Amino acid sequence: MMSPKVDLNLIKVFLAIYETGSVSGAAKRVHLTQPSISYSLSRLRSLLHDPLFHRTRDGMQPTFAADKLYETFRTSIINIELAIASTREFNPSISQRTFRIALSDLGEVFLLPILMKKFRILAPNISIEVVPMEVNQVEDWLLKGRIDAAVGNLTFLKGKVDYLPIFEEYYTCLVCANHPRIGKQLTLDQFLNEHHVRVSRTTGHSLVEDILKKLKISRHVSLTIPHFSVLPSIIPDSEVIVCLPSRVAGMFAKNGNTRAMDIPIKLPTFEVGVYWENQLEDTVAQQWLTQTIHRELFSI
């Protein structure tokens, strides 16, 4: 059994190794040297009478005992850090912290300019690192502290991490302003018979595809692309059409080369939110970040 006098910093080292999967990653996370991390791990192994991690080609793999200890240790440390954080203040006006935010390319095009304008006013010396959204990776990124926040249609994360809803959104169709077969309204036959652009599911925008599949409706996809941001260069002067969120479609249509039109299929709305997992090292700064994102994007 662990001594009640164990240094809590050893627990932080354990969590850092578990979450980063490496001694070097843990050293960077907790700002210690690799020999210091190795020494701390040796002490923990002696205290717990378990190797805790095995070194493999894929990194430091936790033992069964380490897996069992992880949630208890993390919850305990977070509660301690939150108690300490309540006595601290974060001053954004002088902070030089780097925040990592996961965004889809739609988030980069539409949401990031709004956020950066506010960040320049409130926190002129912070740095923002945008991580391209990968919906199959974002939960792991959050839980392991690799990003500070994620913004998007990520409702599958509810109940797994903290979140705040930002706004409701729905899909529309973007077409060339002078499309030869589409008039003021887009009919179902036109929608099904035209050639479509499909955007990769990794962006988190697969709702239209899923609904069409559920309804057993087929369409001809003539182009599949990884990002939405190239659409303003593709849709004008072409006959392909694409489904995308209404706010971004409206922004793209402002140049007059494209039109945003209602999709002639009943589709549910979806929720855009900000998601995060409380970080052990800088909880107050992270709370400032997520609250600022929520406040600035809530009314757009």
Check residue 85 and give its pLDDT.
63
Strand positions, DSSP E, 27-180: 53-56, 59-62, 98-103, 127-132, 149-152, 162-169, 171-176
DSSP 189-229: HHHHHSEEEEE-GGGS--HHHHHHHHTT---EEEEEES-ST
Q: How many domains does the chain have?
A: 3
Residue 47 lies in a domain: yes
CB 19 within 8 A of CB 60: no
Same domain for 176 and 219?
A: yes
First-last CA distance in the chain: 54
Same domain for 117 and 141?
A: yes
Q: Beta-carbon neighbour count of residue 240 at 10 Å? A: 19
Check residue 176 and give its pLDDT.
96
Q: Is 232 helix (H, G, I), strand (E, B) or coil?
A: helix
Same domain for 160 and 286?
A: yes
Check residue 281 and give its pLDDT.
61
- Its domain, for residue 252, covers 171-268
pLDDT tens track for 276-292: 988 766 778 898 999 99
Residue 257 lies in a domain: yes
Task: Specify the pTM.
Answer: 0.73
Amino acid at site 71: E
pLDDT at residue 163 tops 70: yes
Residue 90 lies in a domain: no
**Looking at residue 78, which CATH number applies to its domain?**
1.10.10.10
Please tell me the distance from the alpha carbon of residue 293 to that of residue 60, in angstroms, as a whole number. 35
Q: Give residue 5's pLDDT band: very low, low, confident or very high (50, 70, 90).
A: low
Give the residues across from 42 on adjacent strands.
none
Q: Give residue 31's pLDDT band: very low, low, confident or very high (50, 70, 90).
A: confident
